[in-house]
Amino acid sequence: MMRRVFAGAALAVAVGGGVLWAYGLAVWQPVTEASGFAENDTYWARDVRWAAATAAVGALLALTRGDRRVLYGAGAWLAADLVLDRAGVTPWPVLALIPAVLLLRPYRANRLVLTTAAAVCAATAPVAAMVESPTDTEAALVPSRLAAAVLLVLAAVGCALAAAPSRATARLGVAAVVGVVAAGAVAAFAASSGELLPGALIGGGLVAAVWALTGPWPGWPRLLGVLGAVLVGYPLLVSVAAFAQIFVPVAALFTALAGSPAVNSADSDVLYVAVGIVPGLVFAVAAAVGRRLDDVVPAGPGAQPHAA
């Protein structure tokens, strides 16, 4: 019964992310290009729909227990987004392809993919809530970034729960509490000014929570240590990822591939999703290395190493 509920929830998040992506591409994206020129945050619709697509991919990974073939589908989805954006095609028929990944049976479970997806979705959720526009007066801006951020939180918790070493009732309860609290926090944050400090607190707390859910129960000293390290590291990594796009014009490349007007030289083209994905990958690697060391290094005097 619990497995069916989990699968239904994951599928709902995946479809919700797909619908938000499709609507953004069909309705909001043309509005951002109506003026014929671009400046800071002109392409907020792209940022929102890519955040929604990230949440959908995370939910599908939770549903398929980390099947790597979902990642191949994510690459095809990105290509389809660029082609459809360039052609100006309404993408509603593409929604029919989203549940197609469910045909990939039997699933090829991969816990590393799940833990990485959990960290990426967790780190991207507050960044999605920070998406802005040149005027910040668009009626669709706050609701859309709120929806994308909440979907990312749910996908992060779903991936963490799918990667958990056990399905004990206590772990399910903790996951539910984390999901509700984090979703409420990120929703309130999305509806506010979107400043870095509260975003860092939400992002760091969520990353630490999914780290705790994906592994054996940590002791309180270690959990508090990880939380402190993430709360300090998260805003630093977000800032570095944003600053790096000045020298590595990832967003400008995708803008050109989509056939959209380039951002003028006085402003900068920043891809918000990349700003969240980079810290997520760093935290995922750090968690994997830390757990690998736990497997081979004795825990204390006289302790025996665990099997790697």
pLDDT in tens, 108-141: 889 999 999 999 999 999 999 999 998 888 889 9
Verdict on whether the full-model pTM lies above 0.85: yes
The HSE-up count of residue 157 (CA atoms within 13 Å, CB side) is 24
% of the chain at pLDDT higher than 90: 41
pLDDT score of 236 more than 90? yes
Q: Give the span between the Cα atoms of 148 and 182, in whole angstroms.
A: 13
Question: What's the pLDDT score for residue 182?
Answer: 87
Average pLDDT of the residues of the chain: 84
Q: How confident is the model at residue 59 (pLDDT cuts 50, 70, 90)?
A: very high
Higher per-residue pLDDT: 176 or 29: 29
Closest C-alpha to 261, from 81, 43, 50, 88: 43
What is the mean pLDDT of the segment spanning 284-292? 85
Contact (CB, 8 A) for 99 and 151: no
Note the pLDDT of residue 178. Answer: 82
Structure confidence at residue 298 (pLDDT): 46
pLDDT of residue 296 exceeding 70: no
pLDDT band at residue 305 using 50, 70 and 90 as cut-offs: very low
Give the pLDDT band (50/70/90) at residue 169: low
CB 210 within 8 A of CB 230: no
Q: Is residue 197 a contact partner of residue 223, using CB atoms and an 8 Å limit?
A: no
Mean pLDDT of 216-225: 76
Across the range 148-163, mean pLDDT stands at 93
pLDDT at 300: 43
CB of 207 closer than 8 Å to CB of 283: yes
Most confident of the following: 48-52, 74-78, 285-289, 301-305: 48-52
Tell me how far CA of residue 220 lies from CA of 56, 213, 225, in angstroms. 33, 14, 8
Q: How far is CA 252 from the centre of its chain?
A: 21
The percent of residues above 70 in pLDDT, for the chain, comes to 85
Overall residue count recorded for the chain in this entry: 308
